[in-house]
Amino acid sequence: MNSPNGSPAAPAASLSPGSAPAPAKGSWRLLLTHIRPRKWTLVGGGLLGFVGGMSGLAEPLVAKSVIDAFGSGASLVAPIVTLTVLVLFGAAVSAAAAYILERTAESIVLDARLRLVGRMLRLRVPDVDRLKPGDLISRVTADTTLLRAVCTSGVTNGITALFMLAGCLALMAVMDAVLLGVTLGVLVVVGATALFVFPRIGRATTQAQEALGEMGAVLDRALQAFRTVKAAGAEARETEAVRGAANRAWRKGVTAAGWSAIAGTSTWLGVQLSFLAVLGVGGVRVASGTLEVSSLIAFLLYLFYLTGPIAMLVEGATQLQTGLAAVTRMREVEELDVEPLDDPAPRTGSAPAALALADVRFGYDADRSPALDGVSFEIAAGHMTALVGPSGAGKSTIFALLERFYEPTSGTITLDGADLRDIPLSELRAMIGYVEQDTPVLAGSLRENLVFGAPGVTDEELDEVVARTQLADLVARLPEGLATQVGHRGLMLSGGERQRVAIARALLRRPRVLLLDEATSQLDAVNELRLRDVIEEVSGSTTVLVIAHRLSTVTRAERIVVLEAGRVRASGTHAELVHGDELYRELATTQFVVGEEAMAAEGAE
């Protein structure tokens, strides 16, 4: 992505793709930050799951009493009823626990998404200029979804499984310590294998999520320039680019699945080997008379029961590695600087403001020439000032600094004598109406776009601005008037209509300063002339700073500032500059005149 002056922006350091690091300690803290507000609900769900699991621990003991009753000829009614009640009770409690945990996990995911979106929309413009929107969207959607599994399988179920495992091992120790030793000997060996596998699952998952983010970024690029892709016949190339990222995500996902399969198989193998070992050792002890058959059967039931908690622990550890990989990517966004969260400032509607730049210097990249190199000039309140100069002279950069999208490296910018850095951002931006060069229009209705910067305007104010900006005919022509949907990026509107919408949107804010970056470049001659009159009219109630390449707009400005290579070359009126500055004279006789001739030809047609 290029910086506003056309220079390539520096790549993001913290969010750039590369080798996937292991989850850092900060990821654990961020995970706990998401879990902490709902910790007691998770604890409650975990306790219910623990109770449901512990009811199952009693089942082998009851089964032993059934077997003993067979041998002694006692009644089987009581133990069978007890066993049935335990099964039903355990099932009901476990179902309730599962619902509570899943519901809580969904709530944690919702909180994480809202928190991440709220932070993303407050990121500083330089960071967003360097990032890929598709990758940011992936962090809000795919990565946050993984938190659900972390909160259930990864945390709560894992803790519950530990308690169940401890209880099961305690009962097995009471029944026969020798057989317990045999069981633990096998499980320790298999457990060491699983511990070797878990970090690799996390690493592969992180790489898979990064590839998904890259795929989203590539697809977002193609969709943002959909018509350009089709006009260039580049569908196959863009599809191939998406396919490459998708294949990388697939390979890493398969790698993670393979390591997960190894971990799960190790668990199953450990239980099976333990069963064979216990069966062999236990059979010998039963044959020697040192162990009852019912005790061996009960121990084997506990051994099979042990499969559940161990599987939960393995799944929990796997999900925890997956979740930490996602949290690591979320943490990268959390660590970016954000603008202060100010309360929205009301529309000012007060007198026009004076602006002054004093020795302002700024550069997008330390390795390149500065975009502004000691720029100084003043703009009187209630006047129109034009910025002219060749491409890359720093005109749009000045607008970006006035909006505080970027901060100057040195020098000061003041508004009515107050340093912009001392004015709260919301208050500063409420004073400014900004019409960007590419005049973005958002998906939604025409009315939503017009009132986007001033949602509290009255219908009378809206109708007045619609009429002033020559949009009344458009509103009358649209099937649903102001309620008509304008399509993605306003594609249902022409370029000139989008410019008029952007100008109307800025005027509805009743700004003290109006910034117009080539705001009439796509208008036909008639509408350009009318809007030029509107801009000249509003310059009495607001300060207008315009970037223009049309001579008609420039000559109406009360002051013209000529920029070249990030410096103020000259300033004055049109007549003064034509006679006193060679660059301006060249612009006036080539670029400006060509623009006027094209506009006149367009009007003649």
Instruction: Please tell me the number of Cα atoms within 13 Å of 549 on its side-chain side.
Output: 17
Going by pLDDT thresholds of 50, 70 and 90, the confidence category of residue 515 is: very high
**Within a 10 A sphere around the Cβ of 63, how many other Cβ atoms?**
16
- Residue 134 · residue 204 · CB < 8 Å: no
Average the pLDDT over 407-419 and give the result. 92
Question: What topology does CATH give the domain 442-510?
Answer: Rossmann fold (3.40.50)
Say if residue 512's pLDDT is above 70.
Answer: yes
What are 441-452's pLDDT values in tens digits?
Answer: 887 888 888 888
Task: Provide the mean pLDDT of the chain.
Answer: 78
Q: Where are the alpha helices (DSSP H) in 306-443?
A: 307-334, 395-402, 425-430
Average the pLDDT over 163-170 and give the result. 77
* pLDDT recorded at residue 20: 46
φ/ψ (deg, to 5) at 254: -65, -40
- Residue 309 · residue 168 · CB < 8 Å: yes
What is the C-alpha separation between 301 and 603, in angstroms, rounded? Answer: 91
* pLDDT recorded at residue 236: 83
* pLDDT recorded at residue 603: 43
Going by pLDDT thresholds of 50, 70 and 90, the confidence category of residue 9 is: very low
SS (H, E, C) 250-314: HHHHHHHHHHHHHHHHHHHHHHHHHHHHHHHHHHHHHHHCCCCHHHHHHHHHHHHHCHHHHHHHH
Return the SS3 of 211: helix
Long-range contacts of 69-74, Cβ-Cβ distance < 8 Å, separation of 24 or more:
71/294
| CA distance to 132, 328, 342, per residue, from 338 (Å) | 17, 18, 12
Sign of CA dihedral 335, 338, 340, 342: negative
Buried b (16+ CB within 10 A) or exposed e, 460-495: eebeebbebbbbeebbeebeeebebebeeebebbee
Going by pLDDT thresholds of 50, 70 and 90, the confidence category of residue 6 is: very low
| Of 11, 64, 92, 16, nearest in space to 364 by CA | 11
- Residue 570 · residue 397 · CB < 8 Å: no
Average the pLDDT over 322-351 and give the result. 72
Sign of CA dihedral 443, 444, 448, 450: positive
* pLDDT recorded at residue 3: 44
What is the C-alpha separation between 100 and 530, in angstroms, rounded? Answer: 63
What is the C-alpha separation between 119 and 178, in angstroms, rounded? Answer: 57
**Least confident among 282-291, 340-349, 378-387:** 340-349
What is the C-alpha separation between 299 and 305, in angstroms, rounded? Answer: 10
| E strand residue ranges, 403-484 | 410-415, 418-419, 432-435
φ/ψ (deg, to 5) at 517: -100, 95
Going by pLDDT thresholds of 50, 70 and 90, the confidence category of residue 600 is: very low
* pLDDT recorded at residue 5: 43
Q: What residues have CB less than 8 Å from 473, skipping those under 6 apart?
A: none
| CA distance to 288, 361, 389, per residue, from 376 (Å) | 101, 10, 15
* pLDDT recorded at residue 598: 42
What is the C-alpha separation between 235 and 327, in angstroms, rounded? Answer: 34
Of residues 209 and 480, which shows the higher confidence score? 480
Average the pLDDT over 82-110 and give the result. 82
Going by pLDDT thresholds of 50, 70 and 90, the confidence category of residue 275 is: confident
First to last CA, the chain: 38
Q: Which residue has the tokens 């599962």?
A: 98
Of residues 98 and 506, which shows the higher confidence score? 506
| Of 516, 512, 515, nearest in space to 550 by CA | 516
**Least confident among 9-18, 58-67, 288-297:** 9-18
Give the rounded percent of residues in the chain with a pLDDT score beyond 90.
Answer: 10
Going by pLDDT thresholds of 50, 70 and 90, the confidence category of residue 563 is: very high
What are 348-389's pLDDT values in tens digits?
Answer: 556 889 999 999 999 887 767 889 999 999 998 888 899 998
Sheet holding 384-388, edge to edge: 432-435, 513-517, 543-547, 384-388, 559-564, 567-572
Out of 460, 518, 537, 597, the active site residue is 518
Q: Are β-strands 410-415 and 513-517 bridged in parallel, bridged antiparallel, or unpaired? A: unpaired
Sheet holding 355-362, edge to edge: 372-379, 355-362, 410-415, 418-419
What is the C-alpha separation between 395 and 548, in angstroms, rounded? Answer: 10
Structural tokens at position 387: 């910025």
What is the C-alpha separation between 235 and 228, in angstroms, rounded? Answer: 10
- Residue 219 · residue 242 · CB < 8 Å: yes
Per mean pLDDT, which of 59-68, 134-143, 470-479 is the most reliable?
A: 470-479
* pLDDT recorded at residue 599: 42
Going by pLDDT thresholds of 50, 70 and 90, the confidence category of residue 7 is: very low
Average the pLDDT over 589-598 and give the result. 53
Average the pLDDT over 202-230 and give the result. 75
- Given the candidates 1.10.3720.10, 1.20.1560.10, 3.40.50.300, 1.10.760.10, the CATH classification of the domain at 25-334 is 1.20.1560.10
In this structure, CATH architecture of domain 355-431+512-604: 3-Layer(aba) Sandwich (3.40)
**Catalytic site residue 518?**
yes
Going by pLDDT thresholds of 50, 70 and 90, the confidence category of residue 347 is: low
Average the pLDDT over 169-196 and give the result. 76
* pLDDT recorded at residue 186: 67
pTM higher than the cut 0.75: no
Angle between helices 39-72 and 307-334 (to 10 degrees): 170
Angle between helices 591-604 and 582-589 (to 10 degrees): 20
CATH 3.40.50.300, the chain: domain bounds = 355-431+512-604, 442-510
Going by pLDDT thresholds of 50, 70 and 90, the confidence category of residue 345 is: low
